[in-house]
Amino acid sequence: MPEHHPPIARLRSLRSVALRTTHCAESAEFYHEVWGLRPVEQEHGATWLRGTGPEHHVLQLQQAAQNALGKIVFSVATPAEVDEAARRLDAHGIALVTEPGKLDQVGGGYGLRFGDPEGRLVELTADVEAVVPDDPDGHPAVPRKLAHVVLNTADIDTVCEFYTRVLGMRVSDWSEHQMAFLRCNSDHHVIAFNQAPFPSVNHVAYEMPSIDHFMRGIGRLRHHGITPLWGPGRHGPGNNTFSYFADPGGLVCEYTSEVEQVVEDAWLCRVWRRTPELSDLWGTAGPPSKDVRTHMAGVPDPGYTAWWYG
């Protein structure tokens, strides 16, 4: 029997995601002018953007030679939990990329970093700088926060095992043996993994405060001449609304709302068959087109070691 070690931390939320993009300036303009995020910081080749919620930023864009994941950032409650996570990572035999300490980056905070089995950079943070919530339930049809990130994986069982055993996440549902939806709080999923030929970013979803905001957001994009790659519709797993678009760099972004709320002790994981009526509950979206599937497949992500130590 392998020695059992507890998960490294109790993750509270998905704070933000960093994306490496071939079109940083154009994408920063898109996420600000069209998508509805607001820049909090900008420097040559990088932009940090926030939603209307209390997170300092939800998206970091960085100019790069190819599209890739920069990092995924989870919150823990306290710096002491970051320190404890470092000890537990060691017990799991996982090397730290960044030792626990004050983070010299936009938004500050106290954190650490490590890599997952497919070379994704994971950051845990506490004590990040506060910003004033910008009327999260207000009238403008703009995102409140990050809803989830879907990541393509070449080995769904290995990554699910890692994110559940090491990071303490729970599998909320499976879509056959093709997708796994993982939660760390009451949201049905903050991460989903999709079995694919290679690891890459599938898409990033942003939460709208209501279905009305969701539809008005789609309307605003239409006024900018941008129509959904897929949607609007409502997914079976998670019961959330969806509408997918491509950003100027070709990365897929999604507006979503009304994601199912999980009661931890009552939830039972299900396996959803991949039928049209279960994937698209309203029957409005139809099957995903070749175009959206190509965008969601992305390009093979070489992992953080390809650029972190460069």
Chain residues in the site for Fe ion (CB under 5 A): 205, 254
Closest to Fe ion by CB, 19 vs 205, is 205
Q: Which residue is nearest to Fe ion (CB)?
A: 205
Closest to Fe ion by CB, 121 vs 201, is 201
Closest to Fe ion by CB, 254 vs 280, is 254
Query: CA 246, CA 30: separation in Å to the nearest integer?
Result: 10
Instruction: Supply the minimum distance, in Å, between the C-beta of residue 187 and Fe ion.
Output: 12
CB 242 within 8 A of CB 150: no
Question: Pairing relation of β-strands 59-63 and 96-102?
Answer: unpaired
Helix (H, G, I), strand (E, B) or coil at 87: helix
Contact residues for 215 (Cβ-Cβ < 8 A; gap 6+): 141, 232
Closest to Fe ion by CB, 187 vs 254, is 254
Instruction: Supply the minimum distance, in Å, between the C-beta of residue 128 and Fe ion.
Output: 24
Instruction: Supply the minimum distance, in Å, between the C-beta of residue 242 and Fe ion.
Output: 6
Buried b / exposed e over 38-66, threshold 16 CB at 10 Å, is bbbeeeeebbbbbbbbebbbbbbbbbbee
Work out the burial of residue 180: count CB atoms within 10 Å of its CB; fewer than 13 is exposed, 13-18 middle, 19 or more buried: buried
Closest to Fe ion by CB, 125 vs 257, is 257
CB 232 within 8 A of CB 285: yes
Instruction: Supply the minimum distance, in Å, between the C-beta of residue 81 and Fe ion.
Output: 28
Strand order in the sheet with 252-256: 230-234, 241-246, 252-256, 200-207, 145-153, 191-195, 179-183, 170-175, 270-272
Cα Rg of the chain, angstroms? 18
Closest to Fe ion by CB, 82 vs 253, is 253
Instruction: Supply the minimum distance, in Å, between the C-beta of residue 240 and Fe ion.
Output: 7
Instruction: Supply the minimum distance, in Å, between the C-beta of residue 245 and Fe ion.
Output: 12
Closest to Fe ion by CB, 102 vs 274, is 274
Instruction: Supply the minimum distance, in Å, between the C-beta of residue 168 and Fe ion.
Output: 22
